[in-house]
Amino acid sequence: MRLALPLLKTTLLAAAVAGAFAVPAVASSHREGPYITGAPKVDGTDFYMFRSYESGRQDYVTLLANYIPFQDPQGGPNFNQFDPNALYEIHIDNNGDAKEDITFQFRFKSTSKRTALPVGDKQVLIPLINSGPVNGINPASLNVRETYTVDMVRGDRRSGQRSSLTNLSAGGMEFDKPVDNIGEKSFPGGYAAYANQHIYNVAIPGCGNGRVFVGQRKEPFYIAVGKIFDLVNLNPLGPEVGGNRNDLEQKNVSTIAMEVPAACLAAAGDPVIGGYTTASVRQGRLANPAPASGLANASKEGGAWTQVSRLGMPLVNEVVIGLEDKDRFNASKPQNDAQFANYVTNPTLPTLIQSLFPAAKAPTNFPRTDLVTVFLKGIKGVNQPANVTASEMLRLNTSIAATPAASQSPLGVAAGDNAGFPNGRRPADDVTDLSLRVAMGALCVLTGANDALQVGCKPADAPAGGLALTDGVRKTAADYQATFPYLTTPLSGSSNN
């Protein structure tokens, strides 16, 4: 059922939820905590969840979890790989209780083929990841094979009922990941065609069929990072499009992508789901920097899984959670989010913005119940579960039909596009601009003097709540693929042009 909201209410709801209380940071969630800066392989950067808008896939939900930030295209000789000693997960809460009901778990393995060349009277291992042009799945010319498995867990992520996804075409439970976009000479048939061979049709136990892809993509997030962190060295009321440079335009990222039937993810009687991604490592690590052979023996791991990265809504840990609590937030679960309540009810970012731009007066309604409502619960009639426990995650109403790529608005619900942010998140949704506006009290202004949305504030509480704040960077759905996995082909490590 597609929602038909009055324009004013629609604008209010979308602007309010869109990032809730966050403002721009160094990309959506890149290097956001002290610990994770030293562990880029398990650094979750962005999480997307939306109704699939590829033609003929209207009954599916797409889940995208990006990891390993700030990848320069020229990444050799050791191109980006997921950590074989880590556990990457996508969690779904389908009853609003802040606990996972479905978890998809990804484990990776890297195997060296020990490709050698005859040099004189000896066979000597080559120093490269490929010995010739690469095409197809696991060709002989690829010196390192990276594979992964996907398990589905119902209930608690550690003790629930476990089953494995299988390849519908070739059978088996192990999938190959394409090597990164080394350069044009390494992929004479084109990297896009090579990578597309690694999109798998899969059987999801108890759910029917879906699709999986894991591999490098062009960084989808867009923001004027440099100017934002130079004390917001830009005109926040300047042009919304083309006013500043996207500092992530020349970067790549590693993506875990799934397409799952919507009916599988949502519970009976409530179409709203919550989602987030995490990465975990073992409690203990014994360094072994000089293994005798192989790629997976650089350390010995043991002990229980320890969560070190968490990402649902964008921009949260960077600019909302205090420095001393960033690692703790990354290690926490939504069911325990009450410990971070002060960062929501009394956020520091609006005060910082006021200090930099005195005319932009920070909201005065404390506690910020407007932010608690839209960020931790979702909005009634849009993406709030029937029974909700306040907690931080991305929420999607799976009953709202997808908007075709050509008709999507980067401002999502605020522009009448109810299939966009904050009802889930699509690649082109401009969470930066919307988040700036919400942080400064857009919800208080739009709710009106009578607080029609019952968020606990009024226009007088937010003198700057009506400003069209922006970082001057924007993309549209045309900048991305219109088919799964939606994110575009990664930038080449070399170009013959």
Identify the pLDDT of residue 415.
Answer: 87
Q: Which two tokens stand for residue 459?
A: 């226009």
Q: pLDDT tens for residues 357-407?
A: 999 999 999 999 888 887 888 888 899 999 999 999 999 999 999 999 999
Which residue ranges of the chain lie beneath pLDDT 70? Answer: 1-33, 289-298, 496-497
pLDDT digits (tens, 9 = 90+) for 124-183: 999 999 999 999 999 999 999 999 999 999 999 999 999 999 999 999 999 999 999 999
Q: Is 211 exposed, middle or buried (0-12, 13-18, 19+ CB in 10 A)?
A: buried
What whole-number distance in Å separates Cα of residue 269 and Cα of residue 232? 45
Q: For position 225, what pLDDT does the model report?
A: 86
Query: Which pLDDT belongs to residue 448?
Result: 92
> Could you tell me the residue ranges of all domains in the chain?
7-479
* Model pLDDT, residue 375: 82
Cα gap 63→44, rounded to integer Å? 14
pLDDT at 20: 32
pLDDT for 270 equals 96
* C-alpha closest to that of 281 among 2, 35, 487, 79: 35
Name residues whose C-beta falls within 8 Å of residue 280's C-beta, 6 or more positions apart in sequence. 42, 86, 87, 89, 305, 306, 307, 308
Q: Write down the pLDDT at residue 27.
A: 52
What does the alpha-carbon distance between residue 27 and residue 223 come to, in Å, rounded to a whole number? 6
Question: Is 312 buried (19+), middle (13-18) or exposed (0-12) by CB count in 10 A?
Answer: buried
Per-residue model confidence (pLDDT) at position 466: 93
Q: Tokens for 495?
A: 């170009």
